[in-house]
């Protein structure tokens, strides 16, 4: 079996050993709490049957192949997605390259080629909104019908909701753009984060006594709506509370390209982060982006933001952790 760094991942259907399996299928962008319901059902069913549990995901996003440029920004990288699928307990993650050829498979041929020939599925666990095959013609009813023919059963799991809102990757993206990061944390089961290399900015933060780390975010990642957020920043095993600004810095008449700049709190001694990868979480939205009448007004507001961030983060750090979901 050809694998990635762990024996639990393959990137080609041809590399899958044809053994009996309980299978779940999806894009799993963000691996949110709704996804983890499917994953846990899959793992439990596999344990009951004494077979392996398998999660199938796709790369790139199908829309990038079928309608280039229309694919949604990702809630995590592919590596993070794989890591979180494995953390959910599945025995094998299959990353199927999404190609024009794969998109042309009829629902029946998709089942035969993917679920039967290689995975020898005894059960398939999907959401009730699952679609598959050419032009997404296959649905749960079609899967049940083909499953009866090929000898596997199907479990269709209803979508979860959170605070009355459907729990889906698209809903999480929408909430993220609106700055509703507390809801996003509940939906993901963890704070949303962005990681990127620290690059040189215009140096204004240093000149006003509030240095920031300018983070180069990978293209194609979902970015929270413009505003100021409290969270944590991590490099390796070092972690700080931080205040992160996303926006175009209107006080300085900057251009229309948003930046992600994190001001780290309680830094002791000199700190050079250039060239390192900084991972920043978005746990509380402090305010929207504002234009100030001058540097003094801006600095006063940033210091107020720092005080507010400390209060929010100390309070949330003392909250009991939610049970895994």
Domain 9-159 CATH superfamily? HUPs (3.40.50.620)
Element (H, E) at 109: helix 107-110
More confident residue, 164 or 306: 306
- Residues 10-23 pLDDT 10s: 999 999 999 999 99
Report which of 210, 208, 214 is spatially closest to residue 273, judged by C-alpha positions.
214
**Range in 23-27, 165-169, 246-250, 288-292 with the lowest mean pLDDT:** 246-250
* Residue ranges matching CATH 3.40.50.620 in the chain: 9-159
In sequence order, the 6+-apart residues with CB closer than 8 A to the CB of 56 are 23, 24, 25, 26, 94, 96, 114
- Residues 64-123 pLDDT 10s: 999 999 999 999 999 999 999 999 999 999 999 999 999 999 999 999 999 999 999 999
Q: What is the mean pLDDT of the chain?
A: 91
Is pLDDT of 316 > 70?
yes
Element (H, E) at 246: strand 238-247
Report yes or no: 284 and 229 within 8 Å, Cβ to Cβ.
Answer: yes
The answer to whether the pTM exceeds 0.85 is: yes
Place of tokens 């990137």: 11
Is pLDDT of 26 > 80?
yes
**Given this model, what pLDDT does residue 51 score?**
98
- Residues 115-164 pLDDT 10s: 999 999 999 999 999 999 999 999 999 999 999 999 999 999 998 989 88
Class of domain 191-317: mainly beta
Is pLDDT of 323 > 60?
no
Average pLDDT over residues 274-283: 96
| Share of residues in the chain with pLDDT > 90 (%) | 79
* Residue ranges matching CATH 2.40.30.30 in the chain: 191-317
Q: What are phi and psi of 285, to 5 degrees?
A: -90, 120
**Range in 58-62, 205-209, 254-258, 303-307 with the lowest mean pLDDT:** 254-258
DSSP code string of 189-235: TS-EEEEEEEE----HHHHTT---EEEEEPTTB--PPSEEEEEEEEE
- Residues 216-254 pLDDT 10s: 999 899 999 999 999 999 999 999 999 999 998 665 555
Using pLDDT thresholds of 50, 70 and 90, give the confidence band for residue 6: very low
Place of tokens 């079928």: 66
Average pLDDT over residues 262-285: 93
Report yes or no: 26 and 126 within 8 Å, Cβ to Cβ.
Answer: yes
**Given this model, what pLDDT does residue 4 score?**
45
Using pLDDT thresholds of 50, 70 and 90, give the confidence band for residue 324: low
Using pLDDT thresholds of 50, 70 and 90, give the confidence band for residue 257: confident
Report which of 323, 279, 281, 216 is spatially closest to residue 79, judged by C-alpha positions.
279
- Residues 34-73 pLDDT 10s: 999 999 999 999 999 999 999 999 999 999 999 999 999 9
């Amino acid at each position: 079996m050809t694998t990635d760094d762990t024996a639990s991942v393959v990137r080609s259907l041809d590399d899958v050993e044809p053994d009996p399996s309980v299978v779940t299928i999806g894009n799993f962008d963000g691996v949110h709490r709704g996804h983890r319901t499917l994953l846990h059902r899959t793992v439990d069913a596999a344990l009951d049957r004494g077979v392996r549990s398998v999660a199938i995901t796709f790369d790139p996003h199908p829309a990038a192949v079928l309608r280039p440029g229309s694919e949604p920004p990702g809630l995590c990288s592919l590596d993070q997605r794989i890591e979180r699928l494995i953390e959910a307990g599945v025995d094998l993650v299959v990353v199927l390259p999404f190609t024009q050829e794969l998109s042309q498979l009829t629902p029946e041929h998709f089942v035969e080629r993917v679920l039967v020939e290689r995975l020898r599925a005894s059960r398939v666990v999907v959401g009730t909104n699952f679609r598959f095959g050419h032009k997404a013609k296959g649905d749960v009813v079609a899967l049940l019908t083909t499953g009866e023919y090929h000898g596997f059963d199907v479990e269709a799991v209803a979508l979860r909701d959170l605070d009355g809102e459907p729990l889906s990757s698209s809903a999480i993206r929408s909430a993220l753009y609106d700055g509703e990061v507390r809801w996003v944390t509940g939906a993901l089961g963890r704070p949303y984060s962005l990681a990127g290399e620290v690059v040189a900015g215009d140096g204004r933060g240093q000149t006003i006594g509030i240095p920031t780390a300018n983070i180069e975010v990978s293209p194609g990642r979902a970015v929270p709506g413009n505003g100021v957020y409290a969270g944590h920043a991590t490099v390796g095993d070092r972690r700080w509370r931080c205040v992160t600004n996303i926006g175009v810095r209107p006080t300085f008449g900057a251009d229309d390209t948003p930046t992600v700049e994190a001001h780290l709190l309680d830094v002791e001694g000199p700190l050079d982060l250039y060239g390192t990868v900084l991972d920043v979480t978005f746990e509380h939205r402090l305010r929207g982006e504002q234009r100030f009448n001058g540097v003094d007004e801006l600095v006063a507001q940033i210091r107020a933001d720092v005080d507010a961030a400390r209060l929010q983060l100390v309070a949330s750090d003392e909250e009991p952790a939610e049970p895994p979901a």
